[in-house]
Amino acid sequence: MKVLANDGLDKSGIVGLEKAGFEVDLTTVAQEQLLDYLNKNKVSVLLVRSATKVRKDIIDNCPTLKIIGRGGVGMDNIDVEYAREKGITVINTPAASSHSVAELVFAHLFGLVRFLHESNRNMPLVGDSKFNDLKKSYAKGIELRGKTLGVLGFGRIGQATAKVALGLGMKVVAFDPFLEAATLELEFFDHQTVFFNIKTISKEEVLKQADFITIHVPAQKEYVISKKEFDMMKNGAFIVNAARGGVLDEVALVKAIESGKIAGAALDVFEKEPTPEIQLLMNANLSLTPHIGAATAEAQDRIGSELASQIIEFFKTNK
């Protein structure tokens, strides 16, 4: 049986599948050529990340396709329910990249509160001629310890991010419309374990209490954060979106930064990927990355292994 990993697959997944007798194809097929390629090669499993879209045209016209797999969490690039209605199994790896995204959130937060996103731009340009000026400009950093992190969306990634915050000595407040409480387990290097019970509160209360906001929700039809929500936040708050483009109103964000309401923000995802708005790219108060939340060696290894295990188990039980 053939597996097409159209957006790539970690070695752990390739090895696992090949040991089980699958043929793994790592060709990157253009979207407009994908339907023909799947049929010509009689592909049984199509694996994608965020780049490839799997819509009704593919689902309806690929009779050999048994599984569509998404390496990661969000599956808004796949017509999931339609595929399942047509008898195609859809799988993903919701837990594999949680900690990687959480660490990226804090990479941005640490950078923002110490102006690293600006300093790393300006030191190469004028560090030799305006060293003392830059030192003065970046001398008013703040610490994360003792501050309040507000988490919007308290699923796996939101909880993983909360764990990092708790480890740093932050207070965590969370909102999730589907969850009343969660018990977080923090395990340390010496195997000591500490448990924290976090009860969710209203979105409005999270926005009012938090010094820092981090968004961890699936794709939405409407903004989760727009002008109304920015107005509720503390003056000088920070916000990070490492969830999905389109859940945060980028125009409202820029206005909130320009007014001083928001001190700084970080974006790993954008409304117009892969061509973000130039006003975002040139804004000195934004810390930016190109959708790399799950892009760590460890996360990709976990994703590959989990996909391989699910595929092998499916065909073992559906002979």
Catalytic residue among 99, 244, 250, 302: 244
Please indicate whether residue 271 is annotated as part of the active site. Answer: no
Query: Under a CB-based contact definition with an 8 Å cutoff, are residues 237 and 128 in contact?
Result: no
Residue 51: how many other CB atoms lie within 10 Å: 14
Please indicate whether residue 244 is annotated as part of the active site. Answer: yes
Please indicate whether residue 84 is annotated as part of the active site. Answer: no
How does DSSP classify residue 143? -
| Cβ-proximal residues to 38 (8 Å cutoff; 6+ apart), any chain | 4, 46, 58, 62, 64, 65
Catalytic residue among 216, 291, 302, 306: 291
Closest by CA to 106, choosing from 26, 166, 29, 62, is 166
232 phi and psi, to 5 degrees? -80, -20
Catalytic residue among 103, 205, 271, 273: 273
Token pair listed for 314: 């499916």
Q: How far apart are CA 317 and CA 140, in angstroms?
A: 60
DSSP assignment string, 128-140: TTSHHHHHHHT--
Q: How far apart are CA 211 and CA 120, in angstroms?
A: 24
Residue type for position 276: P
Alpha helices in 49-130 (DSSP H): 56-61, 80-85, 98-113, 116-126
The residues assigned a catalytic role are 244, 273, 291
